[in-house]
Every structure is written in C-alpha cells, then in structure tokens.
Amino acid sequence: MPITKEELVKHNRHMSLWVHSLNELSEEKWRKPIAENKWTVAEIISHLSAWDSFIIEQRLAIENEDFPISPDVEKFNTTAAEYARNHSKETILNEFTRNRHKLIECIENLDVQKLQTNFYRELTVLQYLSGFIEHDLHHQKQILEVI
C-alpha cells in the first residue's frame, strides 16, 4: 500500500527526534564504528544529513524536473563521512536537524497532486521520498545495534 503524505511527514519527524536523542551518546559511542571497517555513528548521521540536503536542493527545488545528474554516490558518501570526522557532534546533529526540518517543510508544502505526479525515473514525488524511509531505517537499525 502506498505511503501517504502524513505518514511521510510523521516518519521524518520521528527520525529527527530520534537523531536528536543521539546527543546523549558519549563521544566514544558517537565515534565508534558500527562494525570493523564501517562508518561511525557520526559518519552515518552526516551521510543522512548530506542526502537530505541533496534531496532538498537538487530534487525538490527543481521546478522543471530537469534534474542534474546524480552524484557519484561513493564520492558523495565519502565526503559526508570525512565531514563527520572533522566536525563536532553538536554541529553534525544541528545540521541533520536543520536539513530534516527543511525536508519536512518541503513535503508539507507540496500539494497532493504534485506528490502523485511522475517526478524522477518514473517515480512520483511520494514514491521517491518514501524510498528514503527504508534508507533511514536501515541506518537507524545499524546505530541501535552498536549503541
């Protein structure tokens, strides 16, 4: 069954609150890899924040749907991880919160017709954005397992 706009907003609000709760993590847990040769909690949150920013600026902000080419995912993710290694927990969490709230605002401002219109690679806006729920939940599960 397709997700609704309300469910999408609810998920993003919940995710924002959950990420905010990571402020309580010790620096040791914040910087701990989720597994050997894997990202740290900090790097995962930076990765999520970077993708939120990309969605807002490179997908939802484009009116004519003439989207720029998707970034090199490996390079994009590496840049987000490097950013996390060089910035404080407070900075990373604040940026995540700011980006996620902007994303929620964008979703709330989209009318139902726009959400159901083909948008990207024959996906509707709603289908495109709901795909990121699985992405969030995947990373949330990884973090919960390590903390």
Determine the structural domain holding residue 109 and report its residue range: 5-146
| CATH code for the domain in which residue 43 is found | 1.20.120.450
Rounded to whole angstroms, the Cα distance separating 53 from 102 reads 9
Could you read off the pLDDT tens digit of each residue along the chain, which spans 147 residues? 578 999 999 999 999 999 999 999 999 999 999 999 999 999 999 999 999 999 999 888 876 566 667 889 999 999 999 999 999 999 999 999 999 999 999 999 988 888 888 877 788 889 989 999 999 999 999 999 999
SS3 of 99, please?
A: helix
| Tally of domains in the chain | 1
Residue 121: partners with Cβ closer than 8 Å, 6 or more residues away? none
Q: 26-50 b/e with 16+ CB inside 10 Å = b?
A: eeeebeeebeeeebbbbbbbbbbbb
The answer to whether 58 touches 67, Cβ cutoff 8 Å, is: yes
